[in-house]
Amino acid sequence: MDSVQIRQIHENDLVSAERASAVTFFEADQIARRVGDPEVEPRSATAAGQWIDRMRFYLTIDPAGCQVAVQEAGRADGAGEVVGFAVSQNRGRLWYLATYGVLPSHQGRGIGKRLMAAVLDHAGDRAGIFSSSTHPGATRRYRLAGFTLHPQMRMVGTVDRSTLPAVDGLREGGADDFAWMDRLDQDLRIAGHGPDHGQLLGSTRLVVSRNAAKPGYAYIDGHGRASLLAAAHPEVAQRLLWEALAASRGRTLVNCITAPNEWAIDVGLAARLDIAQEGYLAVRGMPLPAPYLANGHFL
Ligand SMILES: CC(C)(COP(=O)(O)OP(=O)(O)OC[C@H]1O[C@@H](n2cnc3c(N)ncnc32)[C@H](O)[C@@H]1OP(=O)(O)O)[C@@H](O)C(=O)NCCC(=O)NCCS
């Protein structure tokens, strides 16, 4: 009998699941690394803690979307060892996949297929969205599940600060803004982020355009990266992205750029960043959001 069980994550799986995730993505990033890319670094203790906090949040909001593959009696203490994970969430009529992986030592045995089946069952007939790697096993699973794979671009480099324009009309945002932000999300990607907004605001700065005719918002992380950006109009999206670029120090990154979001390419080029390709934005039952830069964890 197969000793790998697929089941909902428990709180006491989180440390083992984090280790499985760190090992899986360290190897996947090494394989995907291109000549000239920086060396892949193992996940830091801080990032490991953030991963566990994020999983705990998903577990609190929508536990049935959080699945693990557990090798029974895999550890010396007799407890199961997490060898794979698929973490997804339902928000209204939208389902998203936050993370998905199987330990390299356990890949190619059908575990990923079983995990994906479990979380897609949780999705039901909802629309779906997530940011996908180029792993052939992953992309095969996604297409077979009816997702369209849209190539994504990313922009990297150091902002030429002489190009920064004066940006007006933006304010610091807060929890009072979440109601209209959710309505904007619904227009752009079927459903509001709901509780995800509170989670993002806990760790990143929120900048908003409260202009009722042209609303928009961006979460800007400590490195000055726009980690989620949504706007009703490309001109507002561009101002929000310039605000993020102005906050960057050293090399920066703008990612999850799909073809309908060329407004972001135009800003990045003006700031003298370089374009590269990176994975796919996978969607089903919905068009590509624009003007919009997805967040890989909260989509
Ligand atoms: C993607 C991943 C989760 C798949 O898990 P897995 O347990 O290896 O997958 P399975 O064995 O269930 O195989 C899934 C499907 O992909 C195919 N496949 C698996 N590895 C493959 C490979 N290297 N090349 C081509 N096809 C592959 C399998 O044949 C299977 O398809 P089928 O059932 O139609 O025959 C796993 O490979 C992984 O963790 N990769 C690195 C991290 C990553 O990229 N995660 C996705 C982030 S979006």
**With a 6 A CB cut-off, is 297 part of the ligand 1 pocket?**
no
Domain end among 103, 125, 147? 125
Domain end among 110, 125, 140? 125
Number of structural domains in the chain = 2
Tens of pLDDT, residue by residue over 18-66, are 999 999 999 999 988 887 788 999 999 999 999 999 999 999 999 999 9
Residue 1 has pLDDT above 50, yes or no: no
Domain end among 125, 144, 178? 125
Q: Which residue among 141, 144, 278 is best mutated to probe the pocket of ligand 1, counting the most ligand atoms within 8 A of its Cβ?
A: 141
Closest atom, ligand 1, to C-alpha of 115: 12
CATH number at residue 89: 3.40.630.30
> What backbone phi and psi angles, to 5 degrees, belong to 13?
-90, -10
> Do 167 and 273 share a domain, yes or no?
yes
**Stretch 3-32: mean pLDDT, rounded?**
95
- Euclidean distance between CA atoms 79 and 76, whole angstroms: 7
> Do 114 and 204 share a domain, yes or no?
no
144 within some domain = no
Tens of pLDDT, residue by residue over 254-268, are 999 999 999 999 999
> Do 24 and 86 share a domain, yes or no?
yes
> Do 283 and 174 share a domain, yes or no?
yes
> Do 98 and 186 share a domain, yes or no?
no
**With a 6 A CB cut-off, is 100 part of the ligand 1 pocket?**
yes
CA distances from 105 to 20, 24, 97, 140, 277 (A): 10, 9, 23, 20, 28
CA distances from 248 to 159, 183, 212, 221, 237 (A): 8, 29, 28, 9, 17
- The residues pairing with 220 across neighbouring beta strands, listed in sequence order, are 205, 226
> Do 206 and 274 share a domain, yes or no?
yes
> Do 25 and 85 share a domain, yes or no?
yes
Question: Considering Cα of 260, then 264, then 269, then 272, what sign does the dihedral take?
Answer: negative
177 within some domain = yes
> Do 272 and 228 share a domain, yes or no?
yes
188 within some domain = yes
299 within some domain = no
138 within some domain = no
CATH number at residue 288: 3.40.630.90
Tell me which long-range contacts 85-89 makes (C-beta under 8 A, separation of at least 24).
Answer: 85/9, 85/17, 85/20, 85/21, 85/115, 86/115, 86/116, 86/118, 86/119, 87/9, 87/55, 87/58, 87/119, 88/62, 88/119, 88/122, 88/123, 89/58, 89/61, 89/62, 89/65
> Do 27 and 96 share a domain, yes or no?
yes
- Euclidean distance between CA atoms 165 and 159, whole angstroms: 12
Closest atom, ligand 1, to C-alpha of 110: 12
Take atom 39 of ligand 1 and give the residue whose Cα is closest: 101
Instruction: Quote the mean pLDDT of the chain.
Output: 95
> Do 193 and 259 share a domain, yes or no?
yes
Residue 2 has pLDDT above 70, yes or no: no
Domain that holds residue 92: 4-125
Distance from residue 142's CA to the centre of ligand 1 (Å): 10
| Cβ 3 vs Cβ 70: under 8 Å | no
Tens of pLDDT, residue by residue over 71-100, are 987 566 657 899 999 999 999 999 999 999
Distance from residue 54's CA to the centre of ligand 1 (Å): 24
Tens of pLDDT, residue by residue over 171-209, are 999 999 999 999 999 999 999 999 999 999 999 999 999
> Do 174 and 76 share a domain, yes or no?
no
Distance from residue 135's CA to the centre of ligand 1 (Å): 7
